[in-house]
Amino acid sequence: MGRYLLRRTGLLLLAFALAVVILFVVLRLLGNPVFALISVGATEQEIAAAAARLGVDRPIPVQFLDYVVQLARLDLGTSFTNNLPVGDEILRRLNVTLPLTLLAFLLSVVIAVPVGFIAAWRSRTWYGTAFSAVSQLGGAIPVFWVGILLVTALALNARLFPAGGFPRSDWEDPGAAIFALTLPVLTIAIVSGSDLARYVRSATLDVLGQQYLRAARATGQSFAGAFVRHGIRNGIVPVISILAIQLSTTFVGAVIVERVFALPGLGDMLLVGIQEQDFPSVQGVLLFSTTLVLLLGFVADVIQRLIDPRLRASVSGNRMARAAA
């Protein structure tokens, strides 16, 4: 397990380094932030002065080396447009994005587990087929379209929830904050829960067809007892990696949905940064998101190894085979 952790940590660091390089290079190929800050008809001297102030007049390798040194100090830089530290701005906006992501993810799990289990357990019944069809349909609908439908039905027509925005007091009034996040959370949970339900259904069908479950039933155990004792541990292993992917997808979905509901989170920061070609802000948000996805994948892999002894045995068996050869 120790060797696996070292190898997996090395892959994590390598993926992070590649992400840093790709984000840095691609953003500088897409545009020049100087032209977003100067007025129409600016002179060559004014353009050069703006480029020098932003530091983009230096060679790309020099800029990249400075950026790496800056990251080593855990500094994501300063915004070109508002001169605020990018790291502080990300932390401030996480007050919206992080609760939105976690609440939507938890609700999607609550939706997906019973729907996926019933769709598998009663796959030959009409309601099992209906649950499966609904999950397929829900996963096929774009998340922003679900948001627009919910706003139209529950905010504009029924007037049960606000159509968008977030309290100025932030989380000083938790009730108002959660009320403002209700529709965004429901929007993401419908789409994410539908996708996750299909994986839960597939994992459950795989467990229900295994010989060990039938053997447990033959010993006199009830279906519930046999499934809880033998089925869940085996069925949850492939679902764990899916949960990590789903949490990452939920985070990305939250960034998109924030724009639909006019929430002041990372999505708004990212889109404004793209419009204004604010390299530090865009780099900061994308690098934070990429790092979060990589860490979730790392944690999911480690948990899978801890839960499933077959994975540890396969690694040990491969090592012994190489030694014998």
Judge if 19 and 123 occupy the same domain.
Answer: no
Question: In the predicted model, is pLDDT for residue 100 greater than 60?
Answer: yes
Q: CB-hemisphere CA count at 13 Å for 83?
A: 2
The predicted pLDDT at position 143 comes to 84
Query: Among 72, 100, 133, which residue terminates a domain?
Result: 72
Question: CA 57 to CA 282: how far, in whole Å?
Answer: 19
Each residue's pLDDT tens digit, 7-53: 888 999 999 999 999 988 888 877 777 776 666 667 778 778 877 87
Least confident of 2-11, 46-55, 146-155, 252-261: 46-55
Question: CA 220 to CA 224: how far, in whole Å?
Answer: 12
User: What are the start-end ranges of the E strands in the chain?
Assistant: none
> Which contacts qualify for 172-180: CB closer than 8 Å, 24 or more apart?
177/99, 178/103, 180/263
Report if residue 83 sits inside a domain.
no
Each residue's pLDDT tens digit, 190-232: 888 888 888 888 888 887 777 777 777 777 777 667 776 766 7
Domain around 213: 89-324
Judge if 207 and 247 occupy the same domain.
Answer: yes
Question: CA 173 to CA 309: how far, in whole Å?
Answer: 47
Mean pLDDT of 120-126: 83
Question: In the predicted model, is pLDDT for residue 103 greater than 90?
Answer: yes
Query: Among 72, 101, 121, which residue terminates a domain?
Result: 72
Each residue's pLDDT tens digit, 265-285: 888 888 888 888 888 898 999
Question: Greater confidence, 205 or 96?
Answer: 96
Question: In the predicted model, is pLDDT for residue 309 greater than 60?
Answer: yes
Q: How far is CA 24 from CA 13, 218, 281, in A?
A: 17, 60, 12
Token pair for 289: 């998101």
Q: What is the 3-state secondary structure (H, E, C) of 54-69?
A: HCCCCCHHHHHHHHHH
Give the angle subtended at the CA of 40 by the CAs of 271 and 50, to the nearest 5°. 70
One-letter amino acid for residue 42 of the chain: A
Which of left, alpha, beta for 75 (phi over 0: left; psi -120 to 50: alpha)? beta
pTM of the model: 0.80
Q: Sorting pLDDT into bands at 50, 70 and 90, what band is 320? A: very low
Judge if 226 and 288 occupy the same domain.
Answer: yes
Report if residue 79 sits inside a domain.
no
Report if residue 137 sits inside a domain.
yes
Report if residue 81 sits inside a domain.
no
Count of domains observed in the chain = 2
| Chain position carrying tokens 């949850």 | 236
Report if residue 293 sits inside a domain.
yes
Q: Sorting pLDDT into bands at 50, 70 and 90, what band is 323? A: very low
Judge if 201 and 304 occupy the same domain.
Answer: yes
Judge if 50 and 148 occupy the same domain.
Answer: no
Q: Among the ranges 1-5, 38-42, 68-72, 140-144, which has the highest mean pLDDT value? A: 68-72
For helices 86-121 and 126-140, what crossing angle results, to 10°?
A: 160
Question: In the predicted model, is pLDDT for residue 316 greater than 60?
Answer: no
Report if residue 12 sits inside a domain.
yes
Question: Per-residue b/e over 79-88, b at no fewer than 16 CB within 10 Å?
Answer: bbbeeeebbe
Residues 6 or more apart in contact with residue 301 via CB below 8 angstroms: 8, 241
Question: In the predicted model, is pLDDT for residue 69 greater than 60?
Answer: yes
Each residue's pLDDT tens digit, 228-245: 676 676 667 677 777 877
Question: For a pLDDT cut of 90, what percent of the chain falls above it?
Answer: 15
Question: Greater confidence, 27 or 97?
Answer: 97
Report if residue 216 sits inside a domain.
yes
Judge if 117 and 169 occupy the same domain.
Answer: yes
Judge if 21 and 149 occupy the same domain.
Answer: no
Q: Sorting pLDDT into bands at 50, 70 and 90, what band is 325? A: very low
Question: Greater confidence, 186 or 315?
Answer: 186
Question: In the predicted model, is pLDDT for residue 66 greater than 50?
Answer: yes
Judge if 22 and 148 occupy the same domain.
Answer: no
pLDDT mean across residues, the chain = 82
Question: CA 230 to CA 216: how far, in whole Å?
Answer: 8
Judge if 48 and 162 occupy the same domain.
Answer: no
The predicted pLDDT at position 16 comes to 92
Query: Among 17, 43, 72, which residue terminates a domain?
Result: 72
Report if residue 133 sits inside a domain.
yes
The predicted pLDDT at position 324 comes to 45
Question: Greater confidence, 44 or 176?
Answer: 176
At 224, which CATH number? 1.10.3720.10
Judge if 176 and 312 occupy the same domain.
Answer: yes
Judge if 34 and 137 occupy the same domain.
Answer: no
Judge if 261 and 154 occupy the same domain.
Answer: yes
